[in-house]
Amino acid sequence: MAEALLEIRDLKIEATSYPPGERPRDVVLVDGVSLTLQKGRVLGLIGESGAGKSTIGLSAMAYGRGGVRLTGGTIRLRGDEIRTASAAGLRAIRGQRVTYVAQSAAAAFNPAKKLMEQVIETTLLHGLASRTEAEARAVALFAKLGLPNPDTFGQRFPHQVSGGQLQRAMTAMALCPKPDLVIFDEPTTALDVTTQIDVLAAIKEAIRDTGVGALYITHDLAVVAQVSDDIMVLRHGKMVEYGSVDQIINAPREAYTQALISVRQMEHPEKPAEAPVVLSVGQVTARYRGTHFDVLKNVSVDLRAGQTLAVVGESGSGKSTLARAITGLLPPRSGTIRFAGRELSRDLAGRSKDDLRELQMIYQMADVAMNPRHTVGQIIGRPLEFYFGLKGAAKQTRIQQLLDEIEMGRGFADRYPAELSGGQKQRVCIARALAAKPRLIICDEVTSALDPLVADGILKLLLDLQKVEGVAYLFITHDLATVKAIADSIAVMYRGAVVRYGAKSDVLAPPYDDYTDLLLSSVPEMRLGWLEEVIASRRMESAGN
Amino acid sequence: MRRIPLSALIGLVITAAYLLAALFAPLIAPYGMADVVGGVWEPSSSQFWLGTDGIGRDVLTRMIYGGQTTIAVALAATILSFTTGSILGFTAAVVGGWVDQLLSRFIDLVMAIPTLIFALVVLSVMPVTMLTLILVMGLLDSTRVFRLARAVAVDIAVMDYVEAARLRGERRGWIIFREILPNALSPLVAEMGMRFIFQVLFISTLSFLGLGVQPPLADWGGIVKENKDGIVYGIPAALYPAIAIATLAISVNLVADWILNRTTSLKGGRNG
């Protein structure tokens, strides 16, 4: 067998952690990981946040981010040891033999330079080609990656192209120096589902045509199943399972892998449309101040007491704006919002304390939804004090009750948000909303920032709480698996308007309108060959193109 | 108190020494504040550690009493400027709209006039008392605090937790003092050390020009003024206030840095 392109043996990676108030200590990020990658193959690295997947990916160019040290093992690139290579030796490897595609293309491109300049920069820097040659190479790559007008695409600035196109431009940048190995670090995570497909297909084709080896890092098993040949499952910096795509997806051996695969398969039986309507949005049109464009166009939806309405759409579809209109943060220009039998004032200032109390909100980023200088007890206690005038022991008892409800044990009340995990933070936000005894909670992408297993836990908690408290949810999300798991009725939004609305069983059953079809078919499925099927059978171009 | 870094320790010791000296001036000072006790510009001796000044007063005594006045005025002005500046700045950021515009443009207007000239004009038409001094210095400096406080608060006011408080129906006071202030404290504290020193320099400048603290009361700027002619004859009396201001400036900022580091830890600022 030919010499392996990349061979990592017993890799150990450490970093120094600085916990507040304690002495700095060394922590092991990656321990005893070994992998082999042949030329032209794609290895998927998968795991939750903190699993060490990006750290391992970057180690393939002997790089440690922000104080991360590669302390043990060997990293061989075509037989050359690179972990202990000199700075000059590394410079020759990075950007030439090994290149990198980052998650956020928008943050990775220099907004002041044209795309072409940036795409061919490393190629020129390493003296791999003349400027004309490099530009020709880039144009060919643009064409291969399905970018519009490949000849002139490079003359645009980063802000002039869409997110999906920018991600493909970065792929072109990585492939331009004709590297041996490309590291893809969550290249599609920040994209909408319908755009993700195009980028995935483009990346897959480009890898196949150029014959490079690739490390594909992601947290989404369904995505990695489409592009990889082999998969390594990681957890807490250790290898859990390593095998071919077929074996991992169809016959996972480890319990953790099985859990990752069965995630997002939660189903929730739809409730009958019998309960009284608690929220009724009628013909609401809204625009942001100083603009001349309606971001919500005649939106009408109803939500029944104790049920869940999922508002689905891609970024820019107006789903979060709908939440702002309902909460009164963005007063609508026309239309009515009726809540619990009364008409709500358009702006926040005109609403009674009871209006505010009965309509609570949970945010996507739990970190910034809680004041970092308040303890969990203060955060949950404030609504109790504010709405019900609870004080002293009565308040403490209620705080503990709420903490029990969100399945967090004793001793959390005195902690600060920074001392909690992502899932715990979101639970505290849920408790804060519940403390007001609301009729309706607006959940704005509450599981999007969480790891799949943690997100599942939050969804289960929300469903359980709905049974106990009888609270209704307006659930804003871009993720259809989440919708299936939690919704009773669904509103699909596209460019500020509701294009499809009804009970879950109706919305998710054919015949579909074109947009819903696109959206539904774009959700990655955990089986091999899905990507090709979808691309072949699409009726509508995605918005990102 | 956990381990205190050496730099902060030095800062703390020197600052504390100045503060204690200022606080207990009558007990420490070897002579009375305005007593003529020796000849004109006598050199350092065991009797007069720092020598005597232009009319025969003990310079060490004058320095100690001068520190008392200078630090007290500067401290009061700093506190005034931080309370007005940050409350107005936070209000502008939270309320926004025309209130913000009005306040911000008014502050721009005041800032467009050089501070020293502004102060000189005001002090020349008003009776120069401690109170007017503190008011003029504090209010003029609050424009700078306003700028900082507003900038910091604008960033915080868009955070989801502030929005959550607004959706809860919280009053403006709660949002300013309970949601924004604790998170804006770190940059403000760091700035406070800086502004305090500028106030020390400002009061010294005013006194040097004769519009600040009035004789026979001692203050550091006044000591320079009274002894500046001595420099020509190699009398160092006018240089002692400069040394005092420099050491105080450095040590106060060492302390401010340390407090900043302590409070930026996002655990509620109680850990080191």
Do A289 and A218 have their domain in common? no
Q: In terms of residue numbers, what domain contains A106?
A: 6-262
Instruction: Name the closest residue on chain A to residue B168, using Cα atoms.
Output: A356
Neighbour count for residue A305 (Cβ, 10 Å): 16
CATH number reported for the structural domain that contains residue B260 in this entry: 1.10.3720.10
Residue from B159, B160, B261, B263 whose CB has the most chain A CBs within 10 Å, to mutate: B160
Contact: A373, B269; criterion CB under 8 Å: yes
pLDDT at B4 over 50: yes
Q: Which residue of A has its CA nearest to B185?
A: A373
CB-nearest partner of A361 from B164, B271, B272: B164
Identify whether A516 is part of a domain.
Answer: no
Amino acid, single-letter form, for residue A484: K
**Are A332 and A225 members of one domain?**
no
CA dihedral A431, A432, A434, A436 (to 10 degrees): 160
Q: How confident is the model at residue B269 (pLDDT cuts 50, 70, 90)?
A: very low
Supply the pLDDT for residue A540: 65
Q: Is the residue at A50 inside a domain?
A: yes
What ipTM score was computed for the predicted complex, to two decimals? 0.80
8 Å CB contact of A20 and B271:
yes
Residues on chain A touching B268 (C-beta within 8 angstroms): 372-375, 416
Residue A69 Cα, gap to closest chain B Cα (Å) = 24
B102 domain-assigned: yes
Is residue B158 domain-resident? Answer: yes
Does one domain contain both A117 and A174? yes
Mutate to test the interface with A, among B1, B181, B261, B266 (most CBs of A within 10 A): B266
Widest CA span of chain A, in angstroms? 76
Tell if the CB–CB gap between A20 and B159 is shorter than 8 Å: no
Residue range of the domain that includes B123 = 6-30+69-212+243-264
Alpha carbon of B183: minimum distance to chain A alpha carbons (Å): 7
Asked if A132 and A155 sit in the same domain, the reply is yes
Residues A177 and A284 in one domain: no
CA distance A466 to chain B (A): 21
| Inter-chain Cβ pairs, chain A and chain B, closer than 8 A | 67
Q: With an 8 Å Cβ cutoff, are A370 and B161 in contact?
A: yes
Token pair for residue A354?
Answer: 């009871």
Distance from C-alpha of B265 to C-alpha of B272, rounded to nearest angstrom: 8
d(CA B204, CA B213) in angstroms, rounded, equals 9
- B166: nearest CA in chain A? A348
Chain A residues with CB-CB distance to B178 below 8 A: 371, 374
Closest B-chain CA to A361? B164
Q: Is residue B233 part of a domain?
A: no
Q: Chain B residues with CB inside 8 Å of A418's CB?
A: 266-267
Which alpha helices (H) appear in A351-497, and where do they start and end? 353-358, 366-369, 376-388, 392-405, 422-435, 452-469, 480-486
Whether A527 is in a domain gets the answer no
CA distance A486 to chain B (A): 24
Residue after which a domain boundary falls, among A199, A227, A262:
A262
CATH number for A61: 3.40.50.300
- Mean pLDDT for all residues in chain A: 88
Distance of CA A72 to the CA centre of its chain: 32
Number of structural domains found in chain A: 2
Inter-chain contact A369–B161, Cβ cutoff 8 Å? yes
Which one of A329, A359, A373 would you mutate to disrupt binding with B, by most B Cβ within 10 Å of its Cβ?
A373
d(CA A500, CA A518): 13
Distance, in Å, from the CA atom of A306 to the CA atom of B222, rounded to the nearest integer, reads 76
Number of structural domains in chain B: 1
Same domain for A351 and A249: no
Which one of A228, A262, A296 terminates a domain? A262
Residues of A engaging B, defined by a Cβ cutoff of 8 Å = 20-21, 327-329, 348, 351, 353, 356-357, 359-361, 363, 365, 368-375, 382-383, 386, 416-419, 432, 436
The one-character DSSP state at A94 is B
Contacts of A21 in chain B (CB under 8 A): 2, 265, 267, 271-272
- Answer yes or no: do A481 and A342 share one domain: yes
Distance from CA of B106 to the nearest CA of A (A): 25
d(C-alpha B220, C-alpha B239), whole Å: 10
Q: What token pair was written down for A361?
A: 């909100």
The token pair that represents B138 in the structure block: 């504090």
Shortest alpha-carbon distance between residue B91 and chain A (Å):
17
Quick one: pLDDT at residue B272?
A: 30
The torsion angle over the Cα atoms of residues B5, B10, B13 and B16, rounded to 10 degrees, is -100
Domain-embedded: residue A21: yes
Q: Which of B178, B179, B267 sits opposite A20 (nearest CB)?
A: B267
* A310 and A242 in a common domain: no
- What pTM was estimated for this model as a whole? 0.82
Pairwise CB contact (< 8 Å): A20 & B265: yes
Per-residue pLDDT of chain A (545 residues), as tens digits, is: 457 899 999 999 988 877 656 677 888 889 989 999 998 899 999 988 878 888 898 898 888 877 788 888 899 988 888 888 888 888 888 888 999 998 888 888 999 999 999 999 999 988 888 999 999 999 999 998 888 889 999 999 988 888 888 988 999 999 999 999 999 998 888 788 888 888 888 888 888 888 899 999 988 888 888 889 999 999 988 999 999 999 998 888 999 888 888 876 777 788 888 889 999 999 999 988 888 888 899 999 999 999 999 999 888 888 889 999 999 999 999 999 999 889 999 888 889 999 999 999 999 888 889 998 899 999 999 999 999 999 989 999 999 999 998 888 778 888 888 888 888 999 999 999 999 999 999 999 898 888 888 888 899 999 999 999 899 999 999 888 888 889 999 999 998 899 999 998 888 888 888 888 888 888 888 778 888 888 877 766 655 44
Q: For chain B, list residues whose CB is within 8 angstroms of any CB belonging to chain A.
A: 2, 159-161, 163-164, 166-170, 178-179, 182-183, 265-269, 271-272
Subunit contact B168:A356, Cβ cutoff 8 A: yes
The minimum CA-CA distance between B180 and chain A, rounded to whole Å, is 9
Task: Indicate whether A334 and A399 sit together in one domain.
Answer: yes
Domain boundary among A262, A295, A319: A262
Tokens of B207: 């006194």
Pairing of strands A42-46, A277-286: unpaired
- Contact list in A for residue B169 (CB cut-off 8 A) is 351, 353, 356-357, 386
User: What tokens were used for B233?
Assistant: 């004859």
What is the Cα–Cα distance from B220 to B227, expressed in whole angstroms?
11
Q: Which pLDDT score is estimated for A44?
A: 92
- B93 in any annotated domain: yes
SS (H, E, C) chain B: CCCCCHHHHHHHHHHHHHHHHHHCHHHHCCCCCCCECCCCCCCCCCCCCCCECCCCEEHHHHHHHHHHHHHHHHHHHHHHHHHHHHHHHHHHHHHCHHHHHHHHHHHHHHHHCCHHHHHHHHHHHCCCCHHHHHHHHHHHHHHHHHHHHHHHHHHHHCCHHHHHHHHHCCCHHHHHHHHHHHHHHHHHHHHHHHHHHHHHHHHHHHHHCCCCCCCCCCCHHHHHHHHHHHHHHCCHHHHHHHHHHHHHHHHHHHHHHHHHHHHHCCCCCCCC
In a domain, B59, yes or no: no
A65 and A139 co-located in one domain: yes
Q: Among partner residues A20, A357, A365, which is closest to B160 by beta-carbon distance?
A: A365
Asked if the structure places residue B62 within a domain, the reply is no
Residues 6 or more apart from B183 whose CB is under 8 A from it? A371, A372, A373, B156
Model confidence pLDDT, tens digit, residues B144-196? 999 999 999 999 988 999 999 999 999 989 999 999 998 888 888 888 888 99
The per-residue pLDDT for range B15-57, each reduced to its tens digit, is 999 999 989 988 888 888 788 887 787 888 888 888 888 788 8
Q: Per the domain annotation, does A185 fall within a domain?
A: yes
Mean pLDDT of chain B: 87
> Does B220 fall in a domain?
no
> According to the model, what pLDDT value does residue B165 have?
93
Q: How far is B203 from chain A (nearest CA, A)?
A: 36
Pairwise CB contact (< 8 Å): B167 & A348? yes
Closest CA to A497 of A318, A324, A265, A253: A318
Q: Do residues A38 and A26 lie in contact, with contact meaning Cβ atoms separated by under 8 Å?
A: no
Domain contains A220: yes
A488 shares a domain with A339: yes
Residue A177 and residue A75 share a domain: yes
Burial A36-72 (b: 16+ CB within 10 A, else e): ebbeebbbbbbbbebbbbbbbbbbbbbbbeeebebbb
Nearest to A168 by CA among A119, A96, A97, A107: A119
Question: Closest approach of chain A CAs to the CA of B177, in angstroms?
Answer: 12
Radius of gyration of chain A (CA): 25
Domain assignment present for B238: no
